[in-house]
Amino acid sequence: MAQAARTLWPVGHTLAWRLGGRLPSGLSAQSRAGFAGAAGGSGPTATARQGSPRLLGAAALALGGVLGLYHTARWHLRAQDLRAQRSAAQLSLSSRLQLTLYQYKTCPFCSKVRAFLDFHALPYQVVEVNPVRRAEIKFSSYRKVPILLAQEGESLQQLNDSSVIISALKTYLVSGQPLEDIITYYPPMKAVNDQGKEVTEFCNKYWLMLDEKEAQRMYGGKEARTEEMKWRQWADDWLVHLISPNVYRTPTEALASFDYIVREGKFGAVEGAVAKYLGAAAMYFISKRLKSRHHLQDDVREDLYEAANKWVAAVGKDRPFLGGQKPNLADLAVYGVLRVMEGLEAFDDLMHHSRIQPWYLRMEKAIAEAPQ
């Protein structure tokens, strides 16, 4: 039963990544026209000739202003057309995918993927996996969740690992490359974790496989891309490991957490009763070992508050999200990890004793307002 709990709120996830990648119209210069008046004597005719250049110059300036306004309006309309074309292209790409997500609802890695899919308005079906038998994923040699099956025409692809799923789908939406090709950019490899256990890791998992123009359009600069990757990895390497020690911190919290797991998960009647009490007891003691393994403070809430405040400081005061005016992949990852604690004491404490609540509420609103 403790094994089932660890799969719901993962307690160990060594991550590795390396960088990789695949290989306003200008305005024309205005000319100036000179006007020369004919030489003449004094009198009305001479005065009219002297005034003509001034009138013609004023007319030229007025014409130049009209042309400037015309080009400005034309540029703005063209920009709107390009944005509409990109949105339509993305909608066309997303409509070609049929997605099925195999998950545990209370798993933070699964929650990350749902946050991404919901924000990008990608329709998907959910298959809740029984954490004990895992019969729903018996088709797969990869035995962890999330697993995403993506049907694109006649091609059916299996995507494993939450960060790979997100990076591959975002690459697909931005570049339009076939998903079958994109998956090859994230090859699995065998590694040994800190406990001496062989695990499967994925290369390039935080890297979007975009060409230079696509990357510039998405990020605007290398700094934004590097920042997004850094905080996506932080969410996986650090933030997610604070969940279990906090939701199982006391016997009462452990029991409440398993009550939530059983209620939201896929358990039989007997399995649910066993999981609720034996699982809660087991995970209470396991959480103490986790605290030691990750060198957490005596009160693990303090580590959770510090992590939240560190994230808020990274976002800063001058932008609503790390991604600027809209969430980027790091925003979605952090939100997805924290969301699994909703309804539990740890989540309420986090909202009241850290500075993260305003950002969290903005994230809720951004996902709720995503076009459906």
pLDDT in tens, 319-328: 999 999 999 9
Place of tokens 């944005």: 83
The predicted structure's pLDDT at residue 44: 39
Using DSSP, state whether 142 is helix, strand or coil: coil
Domains present along the chain, CATH in parentheses: 84-369 (1.20.1050.10)
285 is known as an active-site residue: no
Chain segment 38-66, per-residue pLDDT in tens: 333 444 344 444 445 455 444 444 444 44
Q: What percent of the chain has pLDDT over 70?
A: 74
pLDDT of residue 48: 42
Does residue 104 carry a catalytic annotation? yes
Q: Distance from CA of residue 269 to its chain's centroid? A: 36
Residue 267 confidence (pLDDT): 78
124-128 and 155-160 as β-strands: parallel, antiparallel, unpaired? unpaired
Q: Which of 109, 219, 248, 347 is catalytic?
A: 109
Which one, of 217, 285, 274, 226, lies nearest residue 250 by Cα? 285
| 8 A C-beta contact, residue 198 and residue 143 | no
Q: What's the predicted TM-score (pTM) here?
A: 0.76
Q: Average pLDDT, stretch 29-33?
A: 35
**The one catalytic residue among 107, 206, 260, 347:** 107
pLDDT of residue 131: 86
Among residues 102, 104, 248, 260, which one is catalytic? 104
12 pLDDT above the threshold of 60: no
Buried b (16+ CB within 10 A) or exposed e, 136-155: bbeeeeeebbbbbbbebeee
Centroid of chain to Cα 359 = 14
Please give the backbone phi and psi of residue 180, each rounded to the nearest 5 degrees, phi first. Answer: -60, -35
Catalytic residue at 203? no
Q: Which of 35, 70, 102, 110 does the annotation list as catalytic?
A: 110
Which residues on neighbouring strands pair with residue 156, listed in sequence order?
151
Helix (H) or strand (E) holding 44: helix 44-95
